[in-house]
A and B are shown apart, each in its own frame.
Chain A
Amino acid sequence: MNKDQIVHPYIPNTVPQVQEEMLAAIGAKSIDELYELIPDDLLFKGKLEIPDGYQDEYSLRRHMNELLAKNVPTSERLSFLGGGCSPHYVPAICDVINSRSEFLTAYAGEPYEDHGRFQALFEYASMLGELIDMDVVSVPTYDGSQAAASALRMACRITKRSTVIIPRSLNPDRASIIRNYCYPQIDVVMVDYDKRSGLVDMEDLKSKMSERVAGVYLDNPSFLGVIETSAQEIVDLAHEQGALCVVGVDPISLGVLAPPSQYGADLVCGELQSLGIHMYYGGGRGGFIASADEQRIVSEFPTRLFGIVPTVDHAWGFGDVAWERTSFASREDSKEYVGTMAALWGITAGVYLALLGPQGMEDVGCTIMERSAYAATELGKIEGLSSPALAAPFFQEFVVNLDGSGKTARQMNDALLEMGIYGGIDLSRDFPELGESLLLSVTEVHTKEDIDRLVGSVRQVVEGR
């Protein structure tokens, strides 16, 4: 049988007689005729070097499973990798909901036939708004780094200034994303951090603050895990110069940590992954931006914002707030641009928050604090290790310095890998001033037994047994 005649399950109108009927209706002799606007020299005449397809679903599954079998996921080992992407427990209902055909395969429908999508995203914003104590929350952006970059652009438009300050302790990838996004109109200045505490270096910040600064950014907790205890001082310093303070949070910390608005942050942003989203090799990301309900700020959001509207039948309707801001409405005159971002993860984060409720968010924060503190303390008892290496209090992630052990971070990770443990993020390249150090992440999924196994294995490596 000629391949052209294969009826593909995904393409019903590959049935030859149906094609003939359709062509007859159109009045065309062949499908080739329909391509009349493409000049002959632009028609691709070769054969794409792509394998023949698997005609049956079973063979496709076999092929994919063989490829995927080469992966050894964190769930098959013991992993302490974090750095802003960590394993958290994903409640079953999160996956049930985001796998539903209705949500998974919907796109950009209207507030009527896609009512549920609008309501779910409005509720996501409402619950996240309570967690971070702010009245305006965006529909998800690509990821937390994009949210940070957009928030800094917003700060520049709001203040009509063009310098922003970011900490040197930022995740280097996030710093790169921010730099790219701000270039070329905005100067991105780095403020140093204190090597002992991990906190923002206040003297350096003071020296860099001026009336040209639009916004000061900080992650709290920081990439290195520390809770920025001088956040209030940083906010005050920014405000004294008429600048805004933008704070990035990990929302899973906010059951125990203060929401940044309570210490004066003007814009709050963050990454949603910890709220019920699997890691997917770094592909499970969504960001948010939040603010007070002030027109001068709301009108600078680049993203979609969903609002609530009455209907003729006394139902809850929803629609796009201040649509004219967006690039859909105003093209090159818009606030940045908007497009397909990460709505499904917003819905998922909403499910997560509804499930956990106020007590669950507090509980998960406590468990993470306690278990990570235990891990850091126990590792610190090993001869030659400094743990936690930074003096400030931390949430979930902490730095372990190996300088006194004679092992490099890489050697430690390689040795742990042999023992079935994914150690920590090697900081030696991006943060050489911290020496041979690892960044470890301990969450609610790590039991005491897991932590004890890590500690025992690290001790074994250090003691050379």
Chain B
Amino acid sequence: MSGKETGFHQACWNEPVVYALTSPGERGILIPSTEDGIKNRMGDVISRIPDAMRRKSAANLPEMGQSRVLQHYLRLAQETLGRDLNIDVGQGTCTMKYNPPINEAFVTTPKLADLHPLQDERTVQGVLEIVYRLDQFMREISGLEQFSFQPGGGSHAIYTMATMVRAYFEEKGEERDEIVTTLFSHPSDAAAPRLKGYKVIIVPADEDGFVKLSSLEEVVSQRTAALFITNPEDTGIFNPHIKEFTDLVHAAGGLCGYDQANANGILGITRAKEAGFDMSFFNLHKTFASPHGCGGPGSGAIGVTKELASFLPVPLIDRNEGSGRYFLNYDLVHSIGKVKDYYGVIPAVVRAYAWIMSLGAEGLRQVARVAVLNNNYLLHKMLKIKGVDAPFAPGKHRLEQVRYSWEELTRDTGVVTTDIQRRVADYGGHYWMSHEPWVVPQPVTLEPTESYSKTELDKYASIMERISKEAYDDPEMVKGSPYNSTIGKMADHSYLDDPKKWAITWRAYKRKYRGYFEPRSGD
């Protein structure tokens, strides 16, 4: 097998790094020049900048005509596999659902794009109303009492939770220095509390993938400030003892923060409030259909109980019941202050609001139910494929995603999950393994969401099946992939891990290399 006969080839323009496209003197765009009326009156304004503060030589930026700039970036766009172009079930935990283009119209309009954050409140009633209403919706979906949209992503929301936990116990005068999380929670559930000075305790799962109540009992104490837990966890398994967990932590005087970055399987099905949580957050760029933008901007909508509301970042968006006017409320007695500029990623808020309004309460439930149906259907298809298994929760259904293992295939063929990942690119798909550490051997995490049809799920499963067959028939071919992607297999990791070899900008590359990666050392 050459590996090329997949029926797909990604765009491959051999597009050079932008600096190779420079042509001295060309211009991409002209800037409005200052009127003579100003120049004549003001004279040489630039010369008034003290010498030490003036730029001495022009920045080494490319010089390109406008058409070539557009062409360059369109080619790079074509060499990027956006969700819209593929059956994007391969980026598990990321909820790569459909991002309706209509919602872009509500963001790109000057009615939103050209708003300054410090305009008089009277001139921004529309956007304030949208934020206010989304807050009300989020309260319903979670059962919590107040939301802030200031955090710029899920990890930022976890950081905000940890900041509030610290402020809460300082206010109470209690010294608690530990935050407990689980191994299948998002890495930031461990990293962000550590940043806030907490000792982080990680509870492992048992052999069936469940975190046992007894394991939690062993680590929860008077030192526990909070439990931060993802549920359903990265494995797609819902922790059935979650309420007992929160009861246990509350009995010890701690708070409970629910990582619902990915709530796609449980909208309208089960809520943070009933599970006993004091805080929770949703990622608007996952569950609520705001596009991921190559890695942000996203939004981590953080909600809390009444008791914690006064600790939220300021401002909140409130409504004056008398006048009906919306306003920025800075009056929070215990507020942690700010975690991000202004009010958060407003475009994501607007898209999430529009998305909910396109579905309604019943539509949200349908989203969750179909996401879970799709996932269990794909699980059923996957388990028929040679070499793959779905460890944990034996005999049970999963919610929105599954962490599979290719351990058997690796044992049989020597092909590892990262080989499969590259090979999937040859079929025009994505494939993501697992957060680290890899508790599940040779992992892959698939999350179909509600957005794909049965036919599309069949297609993705057939790609997996075909690659499995390739691995058994011709493992070396799979290991040498990709063949139909924009670029061939990359060299070893030393170019990324060795300080002498890495180059994070083109100027660093030119300093370290000439031609095509010929080291300059010794020059």
Contact = CB atoms under 8 A, between A and B. Distances in A.
A384 interface: no
Interface in B473-504: 482, 485-491, 493, 495-497, 499, 502-504
List of 6 A-B pairs having minimum Cβ-Cβ separation, nearest first: A282-B342, A339-B155, A282-B117, A53-B360, A283-B346, A70-B126
Contacts of A100: 74, 77, 82
B190 A370 contact: no
Interface in B167-218: 187-188, 190-197, 200, 202
A47 B422 contact: no
Interface stretch (B247-255, B463-471, B505-513): B505-513
Given A11-B366, A113-B81, A257-B53, A71 B486 contact: no
24 contacts: A10-B97, A12-B452, A37-B399, A71-B124, A71-B126, A113-B10, A115-B486, A144-B341, A145-B338, A173-B341, A228-B53, A256-B54, A281-B112, A281-B115, A285-B152, A317-B490, A320-B496, A327-B190, A328-B436, A341-B298, A354-B28, A354-B64, A357-B64, A369-B46
Most buried by A among B59, B62, B163, B508: B59
Nearest to A444: B32
A278 B296 contact: no
B154 interface: yes
B487 A371 contact: no
Given A10-B100, A117-B294, A317-B487, A180 B338 contact: yes
Contacts of A391: none
Contacts of B41: 374, 377
A109 B91 contact: yes
A310 B512 CA distance: 14
A405 interface: no
B123 interface: yes
A183 B166 contact: yes
A254 B53 CA distance: 10
A48 B110 contact: no
Contacts of A444: 31-32
Interface in B421-467: 421-422, 424-425, 428-432, 435-436, 450-454
A137 to B, nearest CB: 6
Contacts of B33: 363, 367
A280 to B, nearest CB: 5
B153 A340 contact: yes
Given A39-B243, A327-B190, A343-B293, 8 more contacts: A37-B397, A44-B269, A110-B425, A146-B340, A321-B504, A357-B27, A360-B28, A371-B34
Contacts of B188: 327, 337-339
B508 A293 contact: yes
A422 B121 CA distance: 12
A293 B119 CA distance: 41
Most buried by B among A117, A126, A356, A364: A126
A60 B101 CA distance: 12
B444 to A, nearest CB: 12
Contacts of A42: 242-243, 270, 274-275
B79 A137 contact: no
Interface in B326-378: 336-349, 354, 356-364, 366-367, 369-370, 372-374, 376-377
A134 B497 CA distance: 20
A376 B360 CA distance: 51
Contacts of A146: 152, 340
Interface stretch (B65-73, B219-227, B302-310, B406-414): B65-73
Contacts of B243: 39, 41-42
B1 interface: no
Given A106-B294, A110-B425, A99 B31 contact: no
A85 B381 CA distance: 51
B488 to A, nearest CB: 4
A431 interface: no
Contact of A71 (B56, B115, B269, B366): B115
Most buried by B among A33, A144, A308, A360: A308
Interface string A4-17: 10101011111000
Most buried by A among B136, B293, B380, B430: B293
B28 A327 contact: no
A345 B296 CA distance: 8
Chain B interface residue number, banded: 35 or more
A313 interface: yes
Contacts, number: 740
A25 B102 CA distance: 34
Contacts of B504: 122, 125, 129, 135-137, 293, 298, 305-307, 321
A115 B153 contact: no
A53 B360 CA distance: 4
A11 B268 contact: no
Given A281-B116, A281-B346, A413-B120, A35 B451 contact: no
Nearest to A185: B197
A155 interface: no
Contact of B485 (A95, A112, A176): A112
B487 A367 contact: no
Contacts of B497: 321-324
Nearest to A290: B505
Interface in A70-124: 70-77, 79, 81, 83-87, 89, 91, 93, 95-117, 119-123
Most buried by A among B104, B358, B425: B358
A75 B46 CA distance: 28
A378 B37 CA distance: 12
Interface string A335-361: 011111111110100110111111111
A310 B159 CA distance: 37
A258 interface: yes
A66 B34 CA distance: 38
Contacts of B126: 67-71
A42 B266 CA distance: 11
Contact of B274 (A44, A258, A358): A44
A146 to B, nearest CB: 7
Nearest to B193: A332
Given A51-B360, A342-B297, A422 B32 contact: no
